[in-house]
Amino acid sequence: NAGVTQTPKFRVLKTGQSMTLLCAQDMNHEYMYWYRQDPGMGLRLIHYSVGEGTTAKGEVPDGYNVSRLKKQNFLLGLESAAPSQTSVYFCASSWGQTDTQYFGPGTRLTVL
């Protein structure tokens, strides 16, 4: 089992560029999450999904979009990147909303 994987691991964007981060899990989990982690801010929830075809906003959704077309994949999109989106992005998955979350290795994104 690979668990939760994320691609890419690193990315540098220029302001205004777009990109998509891919998260994949092989544990058949229903719930998937996207977080960003910034120094002194902790993990903040961007968007989450409670099942295939569903998405919902978290604490800091502005500037991001997500899609969950397949149960095992959760995509995070930045349509027009801004320097404020420079961060480390983590994907996670869980069986249910109160269950342990399994995290991916993270994507370090820099927006110049």
For residue 96, count CB atoms less than 10 angstroms from its CB and return exposed for 0-12, middle for 13-18, buried for 19 or more.
Answer: exposed
Alpha helices in 3-111 (DSSP H): none
Q: Are 7 and 21 a contacting pair, CB within 8 Å?
A: yes
Q: Does 104 bind other proteins (CB under 8 A)?
A: yes
Stretch that binds other proteins, among 11-19, 67-75, 76-84, 96-104 (CB under 8 A): 96-104
17 or 106, CB closer to other proteins? Answer: 106
Q: Does 40 bind other proteins (CB under 8 A)?
A: yes
Per-residue binder mask for other proteins (CB under 8 A), 52-91, x = binder: ----xxxx------------------------------x-
Bridge partner list, 20? 77
Q: Does 95 bind other proteins (CB under 8 A)?
A: no
Q: Does 27 bind other proteins (CB under 8 A)?
A: no
Count the alpha carbons within 13 Å of 90 in the hemisphere toward its beta carbon: 15
85 or 101, CB closer to other proteins? Answer: 101
Q: Does 22 bind other proteins (CB under 8 A)?
A: no
CB within 8 Å of 66: residues ≥ 6 apart: 34, 46, 47, 49, 55, 74, 75, 76, 77
Among 1, 14, 28, 42, binds other proteins (CB under 8 A): 42
